[in-house]
Chains A and B, each alone.
Chain A
Amino acid sequence: MAHPLNTSLPQRPLRVAAGTGLAIAIAALIALVLWAILDAATGATGRPSRIDIPHLLRMTSIQAGLTTVISLAVGMALAWALNRLRFPGRDLIVGLFASAIVTPGMVVAFGMLSIWGRNGWINQTSEALFGVSIGNPAFGLSGILFAHVILDGAFAARIMLARLDAIPQPRLKTGQSLDLTAWQRFSIIDWPALRGTVPGLAAIIFLLAFTSFPIVLLLGGGPANQTLEVAIYAAVRQDFDLVGAVRLALTQIAVCALVISAASALAPIPTSLGPSIAPKWSDRLGASIVQWIVLVLCTIGFVLPLASVLFDGLLNGLGRVLSQPAFWWATLSSLLIGSASALLTLVFALLLAMGRGATANGVARTMLGIPAYAYLAVPAVVLSLGFFLLVRDAGVSTSIAAPFVVVVANSLLALPFAMATLGPPLEAIARTRGKLIRSLGISGWRQFSLIEYPLLGKDIGVMLALAFCFSLGDLGVIALFGTQDFQTLPLMMFRALGAYRTNDAAAIAALLLIGTIVVFVGLPRLIERIAHAVR
């Protein structure tokens, strides 16, 4: 027996090999994309762009750092409140919170403006009742942070809630019988369960904020608040300075890699996992009041903007949109793209997370953690250009390749979120049940089908919902492909906006949001039911 003595992990060389293979493939793809651009650059003429990179890096890091800290704090408070409180419509609220991150950022930003803007509900009410204006909190750094926290804080809450819901029942019973206070319960029972998610979430949120582009421009108020991504966009599109674009992209990748490696290396091992059953825990009155306050504040801050999107969209233009054949084609494309990407994401995430969970070697764990973030670190406009060149170099028609490229790109986009969802529970299983698995001599496949899959049911559902909704529409990557006959709902929405059709765009946005909420409420339940039925 050549087992290392210090580990209780079952030997799973195939899992490590498969995870490593995928990690190398993703790294190779990114390298190929950059190489294809440099290769094409030799023939292209362009003006070198002049950008103050240190200034941009400083501004962006401040913004992204603040976004990360606030989002995690808000997310944790919200997850804590939602885990304890029971009320009618709770599932719907949870679904609404989760849907923010997969809704196109522009939609959320405009939803936020219709609540918090100069002409928004709150200011109008305040002026009508008290004759006082709340000013313009929605623009500038505060506006950017607010929009980002709506997107990312609610997402963090969803992932953390899943971990809190998975705390084993006996542990709670013990805690309750010891008469733990709300704070003791948090620090003794909740924090160890949440800790595993923090580095991954922090990395995702930092990267999202670091590379955020349209929201930063929309709410930033001017070039003082900007990200590297806009400079890269300008280098590719305006200046056609491909070498410069690759150089900027490498700068962004380097900064992101630092953050990602730190997160991958720091991630602690989660300790507990049980099948998710609605926990019964009664806090004292004081804690309950705080929980209700958190919930109400978050609802006003996060849910109202989304509600206004529904309100605007369903009131105007719904009939006109539903009567367009193009809408139904776009819906079909979105559903197919979303399903294919979600399944591919599941495969990718399982391969990487299982490979990671099967090794105790720190370097290997870090290396297997990094590729998940590839899509977040590489600027979309660079990926788009690179994919276009690769497809052309391979001699494939761009219109035929487009759907495949979108599916692969969307899977990479959803991968970090999938890893944040599935990684911690998979590791927890390997750590807590590793000895048992080894002593029983269970094979890798049976380990998955008998132990992991049933325990992960709900998480797989959450992950599929996330990946599906993300993939309904991210088309940034096929900007150059020529996509007249290939349209998804978000693309149709943006085209409507660009053609003055504000009402049509609002209706599509509302329908997208409804679809997203349905998926978020329904899929986790469905998959959990299937996972348990299998046994």
Chain B
Amino acid sequence: MIESILRFSIERRWLVLSFILVLLGAGVWSYQHLPIDAVPDITNVQVQVNTEAPGYSPLESEQRITYPVETALAGLPNLAYTRSISRYGLSQVTVVFEEGTDIYFARNLINERLGAIKSTLPTGLEPEMGPIATGLGEIFMYTLEALPGATQADGEAYDATALREIQDWIIKPQLALVPGVIEINTIGGYTKQYHVTPSPQLMLTYGVTLGDISEALRDNNSNRGAGYIERNGRQLLVRSPGQLQSLTDIEHVVIKTIDDTPVTIADVAEVAIGKELRTGAATRDGRETVLGTAMMLVGENSREVSRAVATKLESVRDSLPEGIKVDTVYDRTTLVDKAIGTVQKNLIEGALLVVFVLFLLLGNFRAALITAAVIPLAMLATVSGMVQTGVSANLMSLGALDFGLIVDGAVIIVENAIRRLAEAQGRNGDSSGKLALKERLEVVFQATNEVIRPSLFGVIIITVVYIPLFSLTGVEGKMFHPMAATVVMALLSALVLSLTVVPAAVAAFMSGKVREQESPLIVASKSLYKPLLILAMKLRWLVLSAAVSLVLLSGWLATTLGSEFIPNLNEGDIALHAMRIPGTGLEQAVAMQSLLEQRIKEFPQVEKVFAKIGTPEVATDPMPPNVADNFVMLKPRSQWPDPSQTQDEFVRELEAAVKLLPGNNYEFTQPIQMRFNELISGVRTDLGIKVFGDDLEQLLKSAEAILAVLETIDGAADGKVEQVTGLPMLSITPERMTLARYGLSVSALQDTVAAAIGGEPSGLIFEGDRRFELVVRLPETLRRDVASLGDLPIPLPNGGYVPLSEVAIIELAPAPNQISRENGKRRVVVTANVRGRDLGSFIADVKARINQDIKLPPGYWLDYGGTFEQLESASQRLSIVVPITLAIILGLLIMAFNSIKDAGIIFTGVPLALTGGVIALWLRDMPLSISAGVGFIALSGVAVLNGLVMLAFIRDLWLERGDLYLSIIDGAMIRLRPVLMTALVASLGFVPMALNTGTGAEVQRPLATVVIGGIVSSTLLTLFVLPILYRMAHGREIKR
């Protein structure tokens, strides 16, 4: 089969070469459609169902909203699990589906179920699904501010309410239309509201209640259409406009009449533009601001969308009022460009190095060019493959590409072809040294056929070793699948190319005189290699024991290296959570935040700092007001006082400085990483023990008991019970008997209290398209006066009043600040990390101790989770997949050689190849990580490939000549050049990556380091140890 393909490629070389054009076309088209982002998307398939419930406390929103929604969504097809939080004014149910579920399908299902329960939810509450976006969705953020001196139309300076109005009604509608944008989310400022704030005394005077006022406003604020009249041939539309237009209009609304005298709103209340009871705020550089976030639709190209948003924002600027400044504070394009820049730089530098090495070692420009041509072609094919399989281009997926590895197959073929052509020309060339066409084609065929099998096997083996990566699941899977897929695609396309295009090109273009002119480098190495090899053959036991001890040594070294499961991609910007104690008010948080931002801004490295506090308009990240997401945007490194300072160092400096500010706790992370964490959520410590049950008190009690047990267990660290209480709550509990005495119902009391403090929405005021809520509530001074709340008059049905303290008990008590549920049940989590002990025995210990010491009441149960689960399942899967992979490789080797012994010889070479990688890591102080692991995988492939080619050659020679020793020496000498070449191209291809410090370097550096180090040891192995082993293995055969 292979032979016929080769023959076809060589015979029909021009046809085959013309396929390059097709490949070019497909590649270029695909490149334009390739989704590009900085990092792989690790978000699971999830849909958030948010229900805004103004005024609802955590308990109420759980009972009235979260529970019905959760119950309705239970049992959806492909459902993985649900989790929910119920907070003040918000219920959020997150529905996570099995991997691979179509998001639109999932949303459809949810929509259907939500429709069915709408009637069971409290009126006016509408569950809404969050935007169709992933953790990569927040691609663009901007802030609004008024320049000093800028004034509104009425001469007032712009305040937070006015800025928010501009965002809501001028900027947002325009940006929301940008293709690829699914949502513009706003946080900060105040939504403008019209406030009617009646005085309790005046209401009593006129015998008016809050309810009367709301009702009057509702009844006097509408336009009606009244059909049409046809008159004298004309059609007259009839309409009765009655909407309230202005503050004065509102003031003139009549509430009731007393003895024919109308009582208007103005008689009992002030009417003014007011502020909503907001759930979130935004700050920038220490001042309050309005922050808009553009969210990208899932699967879009983030660079393009954020560019489009930026362009649109540019044109939006023209439509803004004088003196309003819109500033881009976060633009994903920057990061993506940086990341892509890093990859491009690495790839181009790597490719140039490869071409240079090829030229240097082959000593033939055409041959080098043919080999190097494989790089762009394989790249284009890979890009096409990525588009077809939906793999996006990012640091991870492009990070592991090494052109050295890609051209390996081609190098071997071209090198052999040149050698054979030169030989043949020397033997039967004509006067000019040229061969006849037929003869040339035959030589090329022979040369290719000679090495194609080993190199095919080699490439297939390299591909196979990537299989374990595909067995990773969860976050690790999402990070490394694209990488493995890309590498495999690149290798496979290189394989196909070296089977078709390379021989065709060699046949087509190597028509001239092929100078068998070995470069001085090769000559020198050959003259060095031969005596060394002979020496090594003599001292074989010494060499072998050195090799074995090297393996043992690096095995020990590997255990001393630190380890890191998932690499941390450096985004170049800092995000930090600033956390205050639960119950911190929004205004207090803003004040603390402003202090924090002023301090951060003092650093010369910081370009801007901004923050989101609490929950934005669309509750994509429902934080309580005591948590702020800070974004610290750094200046380009060249503008730093010390450009050589690393980001880690700067973060430490920053942390030390902000630690001095009172009242904040911090957690440092990065913008995209933060978003991923928020979305994936779940337990991020080693161990999480979830206690499920009904009663929050009991849950907390059990959780604390578990924590107490946990802390006594050896190795437990950072033990914590999830914070569920601590929200100070003012409870106004109605006294039923007293209420009855005054003829009041509980709901009448609650209505009054809710309207007085929370406000009663009483319609909308339209200003053109803009619509604003009309709200009735008590004046701010009275609302805030908790001490005199008991004196609030509650109107009686028959006139008169009763003070609130008479009919209700008012008390301040801590209450749950958030109720978390999972799979439809309340839960409290106890988390802990493990230090200085292996996870497995720790978990077993914990389970045993908890079983023994903790007695849960009936109806309560435990569930163990945490990263230990992922580690456990990952190592379980790997313990199956890795041996299978090894078996496959061995099988392939046996197939290649028809000899278990030879396969074994090549196989034993793998550990030695790995030693170089381990030592390189150790020398560079790098931990073992999955990235490094990928390097080791690539390395074992290269080692096998080299060994394969070398042994195949020696064996052929031996069969030909019959003398083992000489065959080994000669074979090794002939293979020196290709072995050196593959080694050099593979390692030099990775050099730019290994030395890289730019964005994304942390993924590529370990990988490249391992490969470079490993290739050195693997080359030594191939050149010295393999011949020795081969001789020892087959020497006995001869004697027998």
A pairs with B: no
Residues of A participating in the B interface, judged by any CB pair closer than 8 Å:
none
